[in-house]
Structure 1
Amino acid sequence: MVEIKLVGKEGKKKYRKYKCRVCGWVYDPLKGDPSQNIPPKTPFEELPEDWICPICRGKVGKESFEPLDEYVEF
């Protein structure tokens, strides 16, 4: 078994972007979600359970997002 560490430059961690399967909006943890008071540098896994897609608004939540092979570092 191979262990993959997601650590970038200078010990920064890599965080995955997530995409809404309904509308295609991408959650970028480096930017957060200002429309719902989610500060920058908030990993997707740390979003509140009641967080919803800011485009679909109330129609879909975290369960409708899929991980992308795109990362940001911080």
Structure 2
Amino acid sequence: KFWVSGNQRDKLRAGVYLLGVEDATENKLWCGYALFKTLTLNELVYVSLKNKTNEELNSRAAELIINKLIEYPCNI
């Protein structure tokens, strides 16, 4: 919910949190930054979160982010 907050500090915190989840799961659950630019990846996650219902947004933030990231596995 912080992504859509009007508070800049909340948006910054959400962005840092997102980067942490991306970093912890890179090349494990999703292909990594070789596949995406950071801004592109963040936008994909942001749009995914923006399209969630309020009920869905009550889930753990990391789970919502990871569920989007795993759509981009490495094609080995």
State TM-score, norm by structure 1. Answer: 0.26
Q: Mark the structure with the bigger radius of gyration.
A: 1
State TM-score, norm by structure 2. Answer: 0.25
